[in-house]
């Protein structure tokens, strides 16, 4: 049985696949999902190595931004990306959600430069991925707030090679961290 640290998201998140957006709870190991590479800011498609679904009772952390470009509801141990030098858009690290302190010196990645392998390209590709910024995009950390909410229900996550994948919640697209397996 796959064991994980409690680092997941509520089921109202969607994941971008090569067939469009899919509820995170419906993603399977055979799907190609959009993963983000921190060093380059690029999005590419690959199959997840793990798909997680489990029950969670306790606190959830809700990350939102004042400019309506971030909306994620995650467990306290979920991995969140942190861009620490916004001038150069250099990605430094990720942090557990409960430890993240977004501020004027860092930011939150919400898009990337999309690379679609030829074997995944089809006629509707441009219609499926119009929101992806060709130059990458970050929300300044001082615009992001974190609140706590009680939650009881299922939570979901993925593990992808790059450590980060593209999610959408309430039609707001952003990058999130992998699930860690133990």
Q: Specify the pLDDT at position 93.
A: 67
| CA–CA distance, 141 with 82 (Å, rounded to integer) | 9
Report the candidate in 86, 112, 115 with the shortest Cα–Cα distance to residue 175: 112
Given a cut of 80, whether residue 181 has pLDDT beyond it is no
Report the candidate in 24, 110, 9 with the shortest Cα–Cα distance to residue 56: 9
Contacts of 103 (CB under 8 A, 6+ apart): 141, 142
Given a cut of 60, whether residue 133 has pLDDT beyond it is no
Indicate the average pLDDT of the chain.
Answer: 82
CA distances from 49 to 76, 92, 140, 154, 161 (A): 22, 24, 31, 20, 8
pLDDT tens digits, one per residue of 145-179:
999 999 999 999 999 999 999 999 999 989 999 88
**Mean pLDDT calculated for residue range 115-129:** 52
Q: Specify the pLDDT at position 84.
A: 75
Given a cut of 90, whether residue 51 has pLDDT beyond it is yes
Would you put residue 41 in left (φ > 0), alpha (ψ -120 to 50) or beta? left
């Amino acid at each position: 049985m796959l064991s994980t640290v409690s680092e997941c998201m509520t089921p109202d998140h969607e994941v971008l696949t090569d067939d469009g957006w899919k509820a995170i709870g419906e993603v399977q190991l055979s799907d190609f999902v959009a993963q983000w590479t921190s060093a380059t800011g690029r999005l590419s498609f690959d199959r997840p190595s793990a798909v997680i679904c489990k029950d969670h009772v306790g606190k959830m952390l809700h990350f939102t931004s004042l400019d309506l470009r971030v909306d994620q509801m995650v467990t306290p141990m979920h991995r969140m990306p942190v861009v620490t030098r916004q001038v150069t858009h250099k990605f430094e690290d990720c942090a557990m959600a409960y430890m993240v302190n977004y501020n004027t010196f860092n930011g939150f990645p919400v898009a990337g430069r999309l690379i679609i392998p030829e074997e995944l390209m089809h006629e509707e590709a441009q219609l499926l991925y119009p929101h992806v910024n060709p130059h990458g995009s970050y929300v300044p950390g001082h615009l992001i707030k974190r609140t706590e909410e009680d939650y009881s229900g299922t939570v979901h996550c993925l593990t992808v090679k790059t450590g980060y994948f593209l999610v959408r919640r309430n039609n707001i697209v952003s990058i999130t961290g992998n699930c860690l397996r133990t």
